[in-house]
Structure 1
Amino acid sequence: MARLIPLIVIAVSVYFWIKARRGAKAGPASGGGVSKGEVAKAAAALGLVPPEQLDTERVIPVVPEHAAARDAVRAGDWEAGAAFVAGAGRDWWERTRRITWLADEAVKDDAWLQAWRAARPDDPAAAAVHANALVYLAWEMRGDNRASHTSQEQFASFHRVLAEAREAFPRAQELAGDDPSPFIGELALAMGLGFPHERVEELWAEIEKRDPYHLSAHTSAMQYWCAKWRGSHELMHDFARRAAAKGRPGQLLTLLPLYAYFEQETHESDLKPQTFYGRPEVVAATDAALADVTAATQLLDRRDPRILQVRHLLAWMLFWQDRYVEAMEQYREVDGHIGCVPWNYSSDPKDRYVNTRDYTAAQYLKATRA
């Protein structure tokens, strides 16, 4: 099951919202003066990853340190999990990523987490993992189906476990100190239980006080403000613009306007992607994100999931803007691991990715060999 949590892209530190995406728009399989045969050959000519080798679960290969922590807690070694979180230090984005990674593991088997909490009842990391895991478990119990195809028993379990999470977050936040992670985690609960706007504003103030530039916090909060959850297009775009405006070069908050435009286009089935993404304000937002990524590569490893998260959306935007040379640069950087937006909003992420990438590759070869 696909999950949008920071360890995957981070993006994102929300567990469940991508599940609602079915039948989203994809790009053209051919056209624009490029034959199907040319499209098929172009990717191979550029050495791109074959479709059967694409990873639809992650945006980077599993980090060895993360894999070791996962294997340790699965074997019951909660102390390894505690050390794993502690290893993030005061890098709040990384700490959030590690907490959500462990919370996802706890959904499968929480015996190690129970032992951790029993041994260290006041451990802030254990409390945060526990609260997040309850939210993830609730959505696991609810399942992927629309409300009309979800049983009353599933809904009852869903709301029962979310109520437990609502009780767990205050304790995690009490122990958190400067760590924003349990406040960020509660944003997913806010969506599930429909917190009023005033309550989310209070929650956001606590997050901003601790880390005003936390990328995963912003992508999670923007989900709350979008039309499919508890807000509207207007509220979503306002939040995204304010986020981008406050960010310094390289902090990648320019992702938020791109993400908001993508959300709107996905939500409104009558919009034509090529027309919508070609609007001047969308092109300007794309250019701002391109500059931001360039700045970020001077501050972070170029394979940092945050940079890759932006590159994936840039590839999508540039594709629809017919900017194939620039789009190809993004596809080359992200190729191989595609477990994120925009691909996972489709019922067939691999098809959406390959369709747009290979068409871009064919157009790129046309442009550069002309």
Structure 2
Amino acid sequence: MAFLSSRRRRARLVLEVDDAALGRLLKSLQATTSTGTIGATDLFMGQISRLLDQSKADWDRRTHQLSVLACCLSESHGPRGWAAREPRNASALVLSAWVQLERGRARGRLEDAAGIAESCLRAADLAPEDPTPWVVLLGLSRLERRSQREVFGVWNEVLARDRWNREAHLSMLRYLGPEEMGSRVQVLDFLDAVRASTPANAPCAATELTAHVLQYHSVLTRGGVEALMARHRWSHASAAQTLDRTAHTWARPGFLHHAAALADLNLLAYALIAADRRSEARPVFEAINGTVAAWPWSVGGDPVSEFEEARIRSGTGE
């Protein structure tokens, strides 16, 4: 993962993080959809199909690519058209389902939940080894607030295919939280299980740190004295130990090598600044080198501005 550089770069929001091939595809798709050229659908299908074919043996990168594409194409009719034209193409079915899920999440309602589920199950039949149909089904189950018995059944299907799937772990973390269908106790039990079985550099390694950031945000949203004192929660044993474990390893060259590693480094930089551990944040910002992930910076406002302000506070580039 080539995210180290001796020169400080201007901060910019990069949805694909360090996936250069995905970045080129996103630019090409933007040009294709904006020009509305004849044969645009064929070009659209061909470009995406080639990229996803290259990552078929890498479930972590395939999940990342589909996730970013679904977010960027949430208002496009291209994925549904591709799935209609190639109903036996698992990639087309999964992307179409994920796009509809993202659109439903943004609008607060799903147009066709049954259709999303059907597309995922058809894709699972066509590509039984692929975890991504089950990842989308997990997201659908969350949005529909399905029972824990159903959701854990889908979760187990993901794990059977991709033990350390980042997207699925983060989805389960939120589902088990008190804001959705669980409780703080269930979150703690989940984190204990993840911590006991997950390698330090696995794609889902940021699950525990994500939980602490979510808890920090929940304190901020309460307002009042609690919000003013929110930074002190990072000195609690569990949060402090999580930062201790990650601050001095994640930024090492090659330690994190999954597709969304730069997004996780953004999370770590954010947490270290929130905890006022500025000197430890500095090498993390240097490793990120200006590649901004929208979350969690967007919670405070414009993500690029929030990132740049935090980077200055860390002393990076001085």
Using structure 2 for the length normalisation, give the TM-score: 0.81
Q: Is the 8 A contact 1:290 1:314 kept in 2?
A: yes
Match of 2:239 among 282, 285, 291: 282
Q: How far 1:181 sits from its partner (Å)?
A: 0.4
Report how far residue 317 of structure 1 moved: 2.7
Supply the AA of the counterpart residue of 2:89.
D
Aligned residue for 1:60?
17
**Which sections of structure 1, spanning at least 5 residues, go unmatched?**
1-45, 143-157, 366-370
1:168-247 counterparts in 2 under 5 A?
Answer: 168-247=119-198
What is the rounded CA distance, in whole Å, between the counterparts of 1:120 and 1:139 in structure 2?
A: 25
1:31 matched to which residue of 2? none
2:270 corresponds to which residue?
316
Deviation at 1:83, TM superposition (A): 2.0
The answer to whether the 8 A contact 2:295-2:303 is kept is: no
Q: How far is 1:204 from its partner?
A: 0.7
1:139 to 1:177, Cα distance in 2 relative to 1, 3 A:
same
Query: Could you tell me whether the CA contact under 8 Å between 2:59 and 2:130 is conserved in 1?
Result: yes
What is the CA distance between 1:210 and its match in structure 2?
0.5
Structure-2 change in CA distance of 1:249 and 1:226 (3 Å) = same
RMSD: 2.9
Say if 2:84 is the partner of 1:133. Answer: no
- Cα distance, 1:332 vs structure 2: 1.7
CA separation in 2, counterparts of 1:258 and 1:107?
A: 28
CA distance in 1, matches of 2:256, 2:300: 32
CA drift of 1:305 comes to 4.7
Structure 1 contact 226–236 (Cα < 8 Å) conserved: yes
Query: Gaps (5+ residues) in structure 2?
Result: 1-5, 34-39
Distance 1:305 1:88, change over 3 A: closer
Question: Separation in 2 of the partners of 1:207 and 1:243?
Answer: 15
Q: Which has the higher contact order (CA 8 A, sep 6+)?
A: 1
CA offset digits 1:185-238 (Å, max 9, x no partner): 122212211111111110111011111112222122212122222222222232
Report the residue type matching 1:341 in the other structure. Answer: W
Q: Which amino acid aligns with 2:199?
A: R
> What pairs up with 1:114-153 in 2 under 5 angstroms?
114=81, 116-142=82-108
Name the structure 1 match of 2:299: 345
Distance change (3 Å), C-alpha of 1:312 and 1:210:
same
Count of residues in Structure 1 that have an aligned counterpart in Structure 2? 297
Tell me if the contact between 1:225 and 1:232 (Cα under 8 Å) persists in the aligned partners: yes
- Give 1:106 deviation, angstroms: 4.3
State the distance in 2 between where 1:140 and 1:214 align. Answer: 23
What is the rounded CA distance, in whole Å, between the counterparts of 1:294 and 1:355 in structure 2? 20
CA separation of 1:348 and 1:298: change in aligned 2, threshold 3 A: closer
Match of 1:160 among 111, 129, 132: 111
CA distance 1:102–1:318, change in 2 (3 Å): closer
